[in-house]
Amino acid sequence: MPPWLSPAGVAAAAALGAAVAAGAGWRGLALLAVFFVTASALTRGGGRRTPAQVLANGGVAAAAALLARLDARFLLAFAGALAAAAADTWSTEVGARSSAQPRLVTTGRPVPPGTSGGVTWLGTLGGVGGAALLALCASFIGLATLPEAAWIAAGGVAGGVADSLLGATLQGRFRCARCGVVGEAARCACGGPAAPASGLSWLTNGAVNGACTLVGAVVGAAPVILRAAGLA
C-alpha cells in the first residue's frame, strides 16, 4: 500500500491516472507523477490522501485530459490545473515550515498556523516554485511551448491566490458543540458534531481546492482562449 494514499485513495488515484492516460498519454502521466511525488514528499509524514482529496486536487485536470482527446488544446488546461494544485500544496507545506506567523491574505491580520487564508512569504514563494516546476516540466516533455508554459505557471499562481482568498472569505467553518473549537469540517477532531459558524457550509476545503484548480485550468488555457477570441 503506497504510504501517501489511504486504501480507498489508491482506487481513486488509479481511476484518475487512467483518465489522464486515456486523454493525455504518457506525457500527462509524467506530469501527474511530478505533482503527486513532489506534493507527497513535501507533506509531513507523507500524508494519507483520501478519495475526496485525490479528486479535489486532480478532478479538473482529469476532465481536461479527457477533453484533450477531442481537442489537444485542452492539454494546456490540464497542465494549468495541475500547476494550481502544486502551488496550493507547496504553499501550504512550505509555509508550515516558516518561523513567521501567518497573516490573513485579505486583511494582513495575524492568524494561527493552519488557518484557511493565512499566508507567509515562505509559503508564497513555495507556491510560486511549485507552479513554475510543473510549467517547466510541461514544456520539457512537450505538452507546451515555453510561452505557453509561462501561462501555465501564471495559472498555478492564480489558482493558489484564489484558494487563499476563498479560504479567508467564503469557505465554511464549523464550531464543535462539544469542545467549542472552530474548524473546516462538520465533525470535530474530538468526535463531536459541529454546526456552521461562518462562510458557506457547502464550500468545503475540497470544494475550494477544486475551484483553485479550475482557475489554474482557465488561466493555463489563456493562449487558446485569446486566439479563439481574436486577441492574440
How does pLDDT run across 4-46, given as a tens digit for each residue? 677 788 889 899 999 999 999 999 999 999 999 999 889 876 5
Model's pTM, two decimal places? Answer: 0.91
Domain assignment of residue 164, yes or no: yes
CB atoms within 10 A of CB 91: 27
Please indicate, yes or no, if residue 61 is contained in any of the structural domains.
yes
Task: Decide if 42 is inside a domain.
Answer: yes
Asked if residue 176 belongs to a domain, the reply is no
Banded pLDDT at 1 (limits 50, 70, 90): very low
Residue 156 inside a domain? The answer is yes
Evaluate whether residue 65 is within a structural domain: yes
Asked if residue 197 has pLDDT above 70, the reply is: yes
- What is d(CA 49, CA 209) in angstroms, rounded to the nearest whole number? 14
The amino acid occupying position 126 is G
Residue 198, pLDDT score:
83
Give the pLDDT band of residue 2 (cuts 50, 70, 90).
low
Query: Cα(213)–Cα(190) distance, rounded to whole angstroms?
Result: 31
**Domain assignment of residue 37, yes or no:** yes
**Residue 105, in any domain of the structure:** yes
| Domain span including residue 105 | 7-171+200-228
Cell numbers placing 105 = 491574505
pLDDT of residue 226: 87
Can you tell me the mean pLDDT for 172-198? 78
Domain count across the chain: 1
